[in-house]
Amino acid sequence: MCYIWDIKDDKSQETTMEEKKRLVRSLRGMVGPDFEFHLSGGEPLMTEGILGLVDFIAEEGYRTNMVTNGFLIDEKMARDIMDSRLGSITISLDGINPETHDYIRGVNGSYSRIMKAIEYLDRFRRDESPKTSILTVIMERNLDEILQLVERVQKDKRLEMISFQAINQPFCEEMDREWFKEDKSRSLWPQDTRKAGSIMERLRELRLNGYKIGNHHNHFLHFKEYFKEPNIFLKKIKCNLGDYEFHVDPYGKMFFCCLTEPFGNIKNDNISEIWDSKKTNKIRQDVYNCLRNCHIMVNCFYEDEACDV
């Protein structure tokens, strides 16, 4: 969930396309060809020139994935995407029933736009075109539809796979360890943890049986544990987000995660020069010491570890 739409931002302060390209170039010698740029949001397709940036990243030798709500993918956009050098495109779909998805997204007709987007993308697909996948956030509102979604994707030859994330505190809210207990969170946080756990176990079984599910099979055991006790730190070792990845916001600030301060800004910093700086290493140590189940650690940077459930 995300409330970034409610932020009164200053578009003039957002990074330029040239500043984004400079960041890509600055990674030469730091990362290998398997390094992947994840273009998400907000909504990345609202960024003018985003597919040109995708092609530039590919020319530099890196992979790309884009996460989109699919709303802007009409026939022309679908053709442009499939003609680009994008590695894969992931469409957010939060229910098998239109009413469920539209309620969660807050936009009537969103579900039907996604169905059209999938149709258009498949129409213009070529052998080298990006693969299309689905991303679903598991929450109270759609819990009873999760297994049906898996079966739908399994049968749909247009779709590469479905991946899952567990609901976390909505983006752009003030951090609150007890957010899931609030009345406004009742449609988000699974109220029946036993049922949620059973569904997680079934997802794990399906993944082990070869279903088109992107998560590691043991990721669902961590989801089960997380839904049962959301404030008990899931990792058995330190959080090491600061060693392998970083995030860039629309204004160029570079973060390891949403709970730490930025360690630089692509507008005036070269990441190769600040990656091992005193300031960056101090923030990296804060990440090591963090015991919060943040969105990135729970969903985006899963590492297979022994689980207590």
Both tokens of 115, joined, read: 């169905």
Residue 290, Cβ neighbours under 10 Å: how many? Answer: 20
Predicted pLDDT at 199? 98
Rounded Cα–Cα distance for residues 77 and 72 (Å)? 7
Per-residue model confidence (pLDDT) at position 142: 97
Q: If you search the block for the tokens 């989801």, which residue do you land on?
A: 223
Instruction: Let me know: does 17 contact 53? Beta carbons within 8 Å.
Output: yes
Give the number of other CB atoms < 10 A from CB of residue 204: 20
Confidence band, pLDDT 50/70/90 cuts, at residue 299 = confident
Cα 38 to Cα 3: distance, rounded to the nearest angstrom = 20
CA dist 110 and 29 (Å) reads 42
Chain-centre distance for alpha carbon 167: 12
Read off the DSSP letter of residue 259.
T
Single-letter amino acid, residue 197: G
**DSSP helix/strand/coil, 278:** helix
Please give the pLDDT value at position 206: 99
pTM, whole model, 2 decimals? 0.89
CB 47 within 8 A of CB 11: no
Helix, strand or coil, per DSSP, at residue 296: helix
- The amino acid occupying position 299 is N
Task: Encode burial over 132-166: b for 16+ CB neighbours within 10 A, e otherwise.
Answer: bbbbbbbbbbbbebbeebbeebbeeeebbbbbbbb
Is residue 165 within 8 A of residue 301, CB to CB? The reply is no
Q: Taking 70 as the threshold, does the pLDDT of residue 306 lie above it?
A: no
- For the chain, helix (H) and strand (E) counts, in that order, are 12, 8
Condensed to tens digits (0 to 9), the pLDDT of residues 61-75 reads: 999 999 999 999 999
- Residue 6 above 60 pLDDT? no
pLDDT digits (tens, 9 = 90+) for 82-121: 999 999 999 999 999 999 999 999 999 999 999 999 999 9
pLDDT confidence tier of residue 34, bands split at 50, 70 and 90: confident
| Tens of pLDDT, residues 39-63 | 998 899 999 999 999 999 999 999 9
Looking at residue 3, its pLDDT comes to 46
Predicted local confidence at residue 180, as pLDDT:
75
Residue 172 pLDDT more than 60? Answer: no
Q: Is the confidence at residue 182, as pLDDT, over 90? A: no
Distance CA 299, CA 266 (A): 25
Per the prediction, the chain carries an average pLDDT of 90
pLDDT of res. 232? 81
Tens digits of per-residue pLDDT, 221-267? 999 999 998 888 777 777 887 888 899 999 999 999 888 899 999 99
Beta-bridged to residue 248, according to DSSP, are 254
Structure token pair of residue 16: 């330029």
Which residue did the predictor score with more confidence, 207 or 309? 207
For residue 253, the cross-strand partners are 265
User: With b meaning 16 or more CB within 10 Å and e meaning fewer, what string describes 39-73?
Assistant: bbbbbbbebeebbebbebbbeeebbbbbbbbbbeb
The whole-angstrom separation of Cα 224 and Cα 221 is: 5
The token pair at 19 is: 């500043």
Reported as a pLDDT band with limits 50, 70 and 90, residue 303 is low
Percent of the chain surpassing pLDDT 70: 91
Percent of the chain exceeding pLDDT 90 equals 72
Window from 91-100, 145-154, 173-182, 220-229 with minimum mean pLDDT: 173-182
Residue 5 has pLDDT above 50, yes or no: no
68: CB partners within 8 A, 6+ apart: 41, 43, 44, 45, 89, 90, 91, 92
pLDDT at 1: 47
